[in-house]
Structures are given as C-alpha cells and as structure tokens.
Structure 1
C-alpha cells in the first residue's frame, strides 16, 4: 500500500510571542506533512527521528498558507489572451453598458480562450476557488456561460467554482428572466442581480424577481449593489427582509455595497446587526476610488459578517488594470486602514481565504490539521504578515496533494 508523499521541511506558524516593547512576533517551526489521496494524514515535527516511509518532496523551509479564494470575478469579460487594447472612455454608466453590449457579440466566440487564460493566472497566484459572474443578456444569450463552463471543466479537480447568472444589462427587461432561468438549467449555480434602483429602476420588483428565480432553482444569490447612499441602504435593508421571508439565511451575498459606508455609523451598526442575523455575506473588491466610500469592512467583521475579497473583472472593457492576485486586495485594504503590526497584517489574510488563517485572533494555531484537504500556497516568507505586506510573487501551489503551479 502506498504511504503517500511527505512534504518535508514545511514552515508552519505555531503561535506568537510578545516582545519587551509590547509588539507581537509570529513563531514558526518546520514540520513534515504526509499527504495521501488529497488529504493530510500526519504532521510531524521536522526534528522527529522517525523514518519517513514513501516519497518525499523537500519544501526547503517555505511557509505554507491556506489556498486563496477569488470570490468576485468575471471570467467572461477579460481581454486576456487577445491583443492589447485600452479602455474607450465614456461619460457615464449608461454609455459603458451600451459599449459593452456592442462588444459582447464580437467577444463571445473567444470566451473559453479568454476565461482559460484568466483561470491560469488566478491559479498561478494561489487561487483554488473562483466565484465568477457570467453575463446573461439578450445580446448573446447563454454564449458566455457556455464558454466559461468549458474553461472551468478543463480545471476540474484543481479549481472549484461557482457560476453566477448575472443580468449585467438589467434583470427586468422582458426576455431576461426567461434567459436567467435557461442559464440556471444550463449550468449556472447561483442567481445574480444588479442595482435594483440604478439599473432596474424598481427596487422591490427587482429583488423579488431575484429571489423568485433563486427559490425556483434552490440556488444561492449574489447581487451587485453599486447604488449608494440612502437608496443603496434601503435596497440592502429591503433585501434582508426578503431573505428572512424566504428562509434564505446564510445563502445570499451583496457585492460591493458601498452604500454601507455612505451612511452614519449608527446606521452602519443597525444594518450590520440585520446582515449578521440573516448571515448575508459582503463581497468587496477594495477598489481604488477616491470619490467612493468603501463598505465598513472592520465594523462588519466585528459583527461576525462574512466578508470576502475578489479582483472583479480585470483588463476588460471596464478597466485596463488588474493582475488577478487577490492577495493584492488584502494588502490594499491593510494599507488603507493602517494595518502595520504583525497581528493585524496576519488577520487580514482571512478575507482572501474564506476565513481560514493559520493562527486565530489569539495567536493559537488552527491550520493545518490532520485530515484537512492537502492544499497549500507556499512562499519564501517569514510569516503570513510578511506575505500580506510584501505580496511575494514567487508561489508554489499544491491542490489535493499535487503541485499544480511552481
């Protein structure tokens, strides 16, 4: 019987110590990790005198962290794998959507090729799960969905995924609800929505239609919410009502949600309690926009609300920027919020790993454990804090015990 493979000399975080000056420092040690059939069988101190049976892969003191999760993406929109082109400027959102509509037919035939290139890029950075929104609209029907599905199928067993049927050009247009239902029957796994006020111009009707489709297919929901101020706040509050009425606790998310940062702190606290009560997650891309208030991520986190980061679309008709490294979002959030000490830098990793960190808030080791999935991202770094602050570009990615990028 195969003994599996030993990953030798893996650096793991084991705790922390407080220095004389009051600062905290992460403690690490070297371990040998036995993996077999995609799981961790055993974790031994590296100075163990036991003979290691089976194959060995020397990780030479590289630091292991949990794999990254890309929780807000648009695989179908990218220009990656095509010739370079910058974005055509427009005056407003209406013009941007009109321009994108003209491009959709032109780009549809290359969706699989472009999505594949983006998946490869995300994987190289350590992403092993992708939540992608896919345009479902009257211009190309389900063509983008077909291309994205084909691209993801090629990474089966390496990258897990969720596909959100996304009505980018409005949900309440006559043919779109029918197309959304076709998308759910054709491989989409979640139901999306977009700006019930700004795009659909009917908050209640738009939100109820999203939930109607979701309950019809027993699917989870992720709604883009760019509408700001009191209008956006009302939309989020109304959505929580609908979630509670439908018994959909823990099955929905609001993406972007800038409106939550546009209101007074008392209102932020009030809606945070409601979001937490119905376990509504918040997906943020931490954009650089000096004219836009970010959602109050730390306040939401204190209330126990799940907050996840994603890169959104990048290098597409909306923006020429972006690399696909979700760790950049953690670094940006940390820098914007003056997270400069070891503990706070280390804690920020959770926003890119679906909440998993090697040490908990108290500095106690909680990952990895025996029988966990044998998936890691390895860095030449001293600690998670250094990874967050410095974003080392060289990464070794292991999924289910197999090295897939190095």
Structure 2
C-alpha cells in the first residue's frame, strides 16, 4: 500500500473508541444533527463479528474517536492507462473527437505499456489514500494493446490484493469493428477474471447501433457476463442506443441488474418530462447508469433517475490522464460535487449523498434508524476525521485508516 500507510492488523482483533452514527436529532421534524457514540468493533475472518459498548481501557487497537464509515467504491475508472506518476499533461487542443483520441492511443500505448504496472499501482495508492478499496475498472482491448493491458493490470491488482479489489470490464476503446477488435473481444470474454463486456459509441465509431449492440449483448449472454458500455453520443443516436439496450434487457432477463450505460450524456439534454420517462424505462429494465457527474455545462438528471429506482453508480473515470486533465481519485469529492450541483445542503441530504461514494451503504436509514455496521457485514471500512457523514461530505474530510476484508491500514 502507499508509503504513507502502515499495516496495523490482519485476522482477528478488536477496535476501541470507534465513532458510529446512532440516530438523528430533530427540530420541528427537521433533522438538525447526527448523534454518535463510541463503540468497540470485533473483526474476524474479514467480517464485522460484533459491535459492543465502548471499553476505553481495553487492549484493542485505538481508533482515536474517528468516525467509521463504509469504505468507498469507484465504479468507473481506467486503471490500465493512467498518466498518474508521470509529469502533468493538459489536454491537447488538436485532439477534439473520440476518433482523434483513438489515433493518439495507437501511437502512445506501446510505450505506456512498458510501465503500466507501476503506474496502475501508483493510481491505486492514490485512490486508497482517499478511502477507496474497490473499483470497477475498464481495460483496453484493441489491436494495439492486444491482451497486454489486461495482463499488466492483473499484475498490479495481484500486488495490491490485501488492500484493494476490482471487477474488470473488457473495453473495446478503439471500436469493435473500426479497428477489428471483435475477435479479441471474443477471446477475452472467456476469461473468468472478466466480469463485464464494454462498448463504445456504436454509431459514431462503428457506424451501426444494432450491429454493435447485438454483438455485445450476445457475447454477454453466451458467457454470462454483465454489460457496461461507454456512450458519449447525444441526441437521437444516444437515446436510440439507450432504448435499444433497454429493449434487450427486457427481452433477456439475465441482463437485468447487470447492464449499465456509462456516461449516457444524452440524458443531460432531455427536458424534465423526457428524463422522467426514460428513468421509468431504465428502472423497469433494471439498466443502471454509471456517471462521472460533470458534463461541460450540462447536468445529468441524477435526482430523477434515483427517484424512479435506477441504480446510479459514480466513478472518477479519468484521473489526470490524456483524456481528461481533471479527476482527483477522491470519491468524497464526487459526493460533495453532487451535493453542490443538486442542492443537497441539509444534514439529512448530505448524509444521503454519502451513498454516492459508498454505493448506497449508509450508517443510518432516512428515518435515522441504525443499519450499519452489523454482525456479518463485510469488514470494508474507513476511519474519517469527521463528526458525522454530513460533515465528511461537506468538508471532504481526511481518511485516516482503510480496512479491506479485515486488513487494517493506517496513515503514519
């Protein structure tokens, strides 16, 4: 793990002086504050075994009154092709389209692959520094990379296995047919380590929505994988692709709950009624949206999606790479940005916004009833320098310790 962390404990042990949220305080039926108390937490075999009243004099590891929250998850990132660890490089004005970027990748990938293991590990370190223990990461499958991006990514993940986990998406970044990547996709989909089949702008890159989506859907069905496609296209083609995928999920129930559209920028251009209607369709088909949130002056209809029960995943996407100058790796920053964009300012609303960083695992439900952690929960936690979830989101509080499957790491 990152040099600023040290391994504190593995296996079976206790923590004392752990701050947990216990309920809300109300004034005229409005939540005005979050109540907390100190507890002892027992860890066993990667699980939370018990939550007990605090014993400040016990020989357990001292959590120093830090707030315990669920560890964070980044659900859309590219660990295999980061520039993190290299000199900062802003975007070039010469590369304006996705096809421009494909041509650029074809030039630089052979050189980047020489050090991609080390740079992936550095990016993982950065994510962990901000409390992320799990990611969904896309990796390039294209004639330039072959299977090398996957091989190097798997080496980096193996080196971080005690403190970090990932699910993998095979991503034809250069198009399925635009650069003849179909045969590579058919090869990689057979691998047990690959959980999802990706895709990219089927009309603007490959020239045919139906052909690309039918290929992707059939691969997923034949090999029992999920689907997570990148869709930057807006307007008619963007909406046609989203609706086509919804139809396929309705026709094939096996795809429901494990089919996602990443970015889905077309949704940001809809009026209120159109957004409500597509949100209903997405919810019925159990097709989720994976968003990196910002969109150059447009705002994604995340509240409408959530209202209708659409599974909305959040991720950093590009962290300081050649696709984007921005991207901090901080999921609390993403939750903070969402709160600011959509006006989530109250104690209750800010506490709910934490769910965008934890993928909906929250210490208290909307009624203020205790729901996490409980015996049997996975021991994936962070200890944060904050008084409550609302403060952690509003102030993007520092993460002091990270636990992955019961393995505890603490900043020096």
Which TM bucket (shorter chain)? over 0.9
Is 1:31 aligned to 2:35, yes or no?
no
Distance (whole Å) between structure 2 residues aligned to residue 405 and residue 199 of structure 1 = 45
Residues 402/8 of structure 1: CA separation in 2 closer, same or farther (3 Å cut): same
Alpha-carbon shift at residue 72 of structure 1 (Å): 0.2
**1:300 match:** 305
Matches within 5 A, 1:185-196: 185-186=190-191, 187-196=193-202
Following superposition of structure 1 onto structure 2, how do residues 215-294 of structure 1 map, counting pairs within 5 Å? 215-247=221-253, 248-287=255-294, 289-290=296-297, 293-294=298-299
Say whether the 8 Å CA contact 1:124–1:405 is kept in structure 2.
Answer: no
Give, in angstroms, the shift of residue 240 of structure 1: 0.6
Contact 1:192–1:222, Cα closer than 8 Å, also in 2: yes
Give the structure 1 partner of residue 51 of structure 2.
Answer: 43
Contact 2:178 2:205 in 1 (8 A): no
Q: Deviations over 1:333-382 (max 9, x none)?
A: 11111211111111011112121011112221110001212221111111
Deviation at 1:22, TM superposition (A): 4.1
SS in 1 for 2:38: strand
Measured after TM superposition, the shift of residue 280 of structure 1 is 1.0
1:3 and 1:235, CA in 2 relative to 1: closer, same or farther beyond 3 A?
closer
Q: CA deviation at 1:174?
A: 6.2
- The answer as to whether partners of 2:162 and 2:407 remain within 8 angstroms in 1 is no
How many angstroms apart in 2 are the aligned matches of 1:352 and 1:23? 21
Deviation per CA, 1:240-276: give whole Å up to 9, x if none.
1111222211111111112122112222222211211
> Which one is further off, 55-64 or 70-79?
55-64
Q: Structure 2: give runs of 5+ residues left out of the alignment.
A: 1-9
Q: Give deviations 1:87-123, integer Å, cap 9, x for gaps.
A: 3322521322222221111211211111111111111
Deviation digits for residues 50-106 of structure 1 (CA, Å, limit 9, x no counterpart):
x95xx5111111101101001000011211223443333225213222222211112
The equivalent residue for 1:387 is 392
CA shift for structure 1 position 405: 4.1
| Structure 2 residue 409 is matched with structure 1 residue 401 | no
Q: Does 1:102 align with 2:107?
A: yes
2:91 is equivalent to residue 87 of structure 1: yes
Q: Which has the higher contact order (CA 8 A, sep 6+)?
A: 2
1:167 aligns with 2:172: yes
Distance 1:23 1:216, change over 3 A: closer
Kindly indicate whether the alpha-carbon contact (under 8 Å) linking 1:100 and 1:317 is maintained by their aligned counterparts in 2: no
Alpha-carbon offset, residue 26 of structure 1: 0.8
Structure 1 residues without counterparts, runs of 5 or longer: none
Which residue of 2 is the match for residue 11 of structure 1?
A: 19
Greater shift after overlay, 104-113 or 92-101?
92-101
1:234, distance to aligned residue in structure 2 (A): 1.7
Q: Which residue of 1 aligns with 2:5?
A: none
Q: How far apart, CA to CA, are the structure 2 residues paired with 1:161 and 1:266?
A: 37
Q: Which of the residues 146, 152, 155 maps onto 1:141?
A: 146
Residue 201 of structure 1 deviates from its aligned partner by 1.9
Match of 2:128 in 1: 123
CA distance in 2, matches of 1:91, 1:122: 28
Let me know the Cα RMSD of the aligned residues: 2.0
In 1, the alpha carbon distance for the partners of 2:316 and 2:11 equals 39
Q: Tell me if structure 1 keeps the 8 A contact 2:89–2:322.
A: no
Shift of 1:172: 2.2
Distance verdict in 2 for CA 1:233–1:5, change over 3 Å: same
1:70 corresponding residue in structure 2: 74
Q: CA deviation at 1:319?
A: 2.0
